[in-house]
Amino acid sequence: MMYALYIVMEGHFDFDEMPPEILWCILLTVVTEDGDGAFLRLSLTCKIFRGIVTKPSFRKQAHFIWLDSVINWRAFSKGHKEQYRVPYTLTHCLHCGEVFKDNPPGYVGDGKRGVLQGFYCTKDFLGYCSMDCFLNDGGEFQNEEV
């Protein structure tokens, strides 16, 4: 999909003339096919793309497209859906300062449609992007239940 966009752009296509809702849908397709990495690539591509993909509502919509592609909600209770069909937040890591996708407990993935990385019932390393950052900041495991 990114490739198709590049071809279009090589032809000096004017995105200003495209209806914004059409472009919105195209970019949603790109991020849900290519995953979270596409957010950065698209935001660096041009101002128009960046204006769209950095919108919280765009990220939220992409997240739900991904989530609905990996979970058959009808197989679960209403309460389960209410608890786990929720958006993520973007958080600055307390150690390295990088912005990371801060998932609430629940389903985790890289945003690629149909790809689920796992289900986490607790939230580890609260405020940190990774276990490394957590440990480098002096973090210790509270309970060693195995």
Tell me which residues touch Zn ion (CB under 5 A).
93, 95-96, 129, 133
Nearer Cβ to Zn ion, position 59 or 95? 95
Rounded to the nearest whole angstrom, what is the least distance from the CB of residue 128 to Zn ion in the complex?
6
Nearer Cβ to Zn ion, position 33 or 137? 137
Nearer Cβ to Zn ion, position 22 or 99? 99
Half-sphere exposure of residue 54: CA atoms within 13 angstroms, side-chain side: 13
64, with CB counted inside 10 A (0-12, 13-18, 19+), is middle
Rounded to the nearest whole angstrom, what is the least distance from the CB of residue 143 to Zn ion in the complex?
23
The alpha-carbon radius of gyration of the chain (Å, integer) is 18
Rounded to the nearest whole angstrom, what is the least distance from the CB of residue 36 to Zn ion in the complex?
16
Q: Across-strand partners of 120?
A: 106
Residue 106 is classified by DSSP as E
Of the candidates 33, 3, 48, 18, the residue with the CA atom closest to the CA atom of residue 110: 33
Rounded to the nearest whole angstrom, what is the least distance from the CB of residue 78 to Zn ion in the complex?
36
CA dihedral for 125, 129, 131, 132, sign (positive or negative): negative
Nearer Cβ to Zn ion, position 79 or 97? 97
